[in-house]
Amino acid sequence: MTEIIVQFEVDDRPMTVDEITDEYLAEMLEHTSAQIQRQVERQVGDLTCEEHGGRPRVTVTGMYSTEADQMELNYHVDTCCQMLLMRTVQALNH
């Protein structure tokens, strides 16, 4: 199975959901994390490198601004080779 890591930054500070004192924001980020996990699992599935047998690792960083009440998502993909990277990015974009 693909390793999926979801992390958050709130107002440019890395934070876990447990560190957030605002209940609404914590609940929103927890819900967002679960949705991201499901989406990436659905898109990437069980992709494996045909040559090396490796699987991609996808790190998603949600950067939330309390001032703008807006979130930006950044995806980072680690793979064993360029071919698996291209296949993973293609799957994430569909």
First CA to last CA distance, the chain: 19
H-assigned helices in 14-54: 23-44
Euclidean distance between CA atoms 68 and 2, whole angstroms: 33
* pLDDT classification of 25: cutoffs 50, 70, 90: very high
Number of domains in the chain: 1
Q: Could you tell me the pTM of the whole model?
A: 0.91
What tens digit of pLDDT does each residue of 29-86 get? Answer: 999 999 999 999 999 988 999 999 999 999 999 999 999 999 999 999 999 999 999 9
* Domain range for 37: 3-92
Which pLDDT belongs to residue 1? 82
Q: Reply yes or no on whether the pLDDT at 27 is more than 90.
A: yes
For residues 16-24, average pLDDT = 92
Look at residue 42 in the predicted model and tell me its pLDDT: 96
